[in-house]
Amino acid sequence: MKKTLMILFVILAIVFIAIAVFYFVTPADKLPHSFPGYVANSSKVHLKHGLAALIVGLGFAILAWFSTKKTT
């Protein structure tokens, strides 16, 4: 069970970090319509959305790291 949880946390960390990078390099009008922050005809990059996704991704990475610790 613990290993499954760790694998899930690692996958979620990778996904959210990839989304953060996508937000950092993609203008608002090129985002998929399902992503928050899509604005037609806008060249603005959503740094706050990217930063939020990065923080969530790092949070999942920390959870994955702590889930590998053995309890005594």
Give the domain range for residue 28: 2-67
Residue 21 resides in a domain: yes
Instruction: List, for residues 30-65, the tens digit of each pLDDT value.
Output: 888 888 877 777 777 888 889 999 999 999 999 999
β-pair partners for 27: 45
3-state SS class at 12: helix
Residue 72 resides in a domain: no
Number of domains in the chain: 1
Residue 32 resides in a domain: yes
pLDDT at 67 over 70: yes
pLDDT at 72 over 60: no
Residue 26 resides in a domain: yes
Rama region for 63: left / alpha / beta (φ>0; ψ in -120 to 50; rest): alpha
Say what the pLDDT of residue 33 is: 80
Nearest partner of 17 among 53, 44, 45, 70, judged by Cα? 53
